Amino acid sequence: MIIEQLGSTEMPAVAWRTRTASHDSGYVLSSDRYDFRSTPTREFQPFVVRDRWPERALPVDDWFVMDDDARFENGRLVEIRRKNDRAWALHGAADDLLRRGVVGVQFVAGGVVRCDATEDLVLPDAIVAAGSAWNIVREKPRRLHPSNKTPLWSET
């Protein structure tokens, strides 16, 4: 099971998503705490949030523009991406690998995909993503030191 929490230091836990091999909850907005501002379009738009919780450690009293672009349908968040995210074109391929049973995925400059997967999981030797060929290697994604983040895209 993957539990995804969407937010920032200024606006923590604005949405949640849970995924398993057979279920995807989609993004569930934390509307009990936040207000969301969007325009009626199916295109990506700035993700704008206002926190109504009175006891915030870092108060932001007005609408806050997150560093993300969002796509809404019928008032529901359906897609989110970092602004100017060069890895965005790789998300579909990463999702496909995760659905196959890979635990962690990381695309590396030079055409390599690191896949954290069990020995018995059948994977192709290579895939095509974002118009390029990528060779799959079985190893864990590398973390950004000193943090615990494992980015989808890595230069090394």
Q: Check residue 75 and give its pLDDT.
A: 82
Model confidence over 93-110: pLDDT tens digits? 999 999 999 999 999 999
Of 51, 55, 58, 47, nearest to 9 by C-alpha is: 58
pLDDT of the residue at 105: 95
Which ranges in the chain belong to alpha helices (H)? 91-100
Instruction: Name the pairing type of β-strands 126-129 and 104-108.
Output: unpaired
Is residue 96 within 8 A of residue 130, CB to CB? The reply is no
Rounded distance between C-alpha atoms, residue 102 and residue 37, angstroms? 35
**pLDDT at residue 40, as a whole number:** 85
CA distance 116 to 127: 15
User: For residues 155 and 109, is the Cβ–Cβ distance under 8 A?
Assistant: yes
Residues 6 or more apart whose CB falls under 8 angstroms from that of 48 comprise: 36, 37, 38, 63, 64, 65, 66
CB neighbour class for 127 (10 Å; exposed up to 12, middle 13-18, buried from 19): middle
C-beta atoms surrounding 105 within 10 Å: 22
Stretches where the chain sits below pLDDT 70 are: none
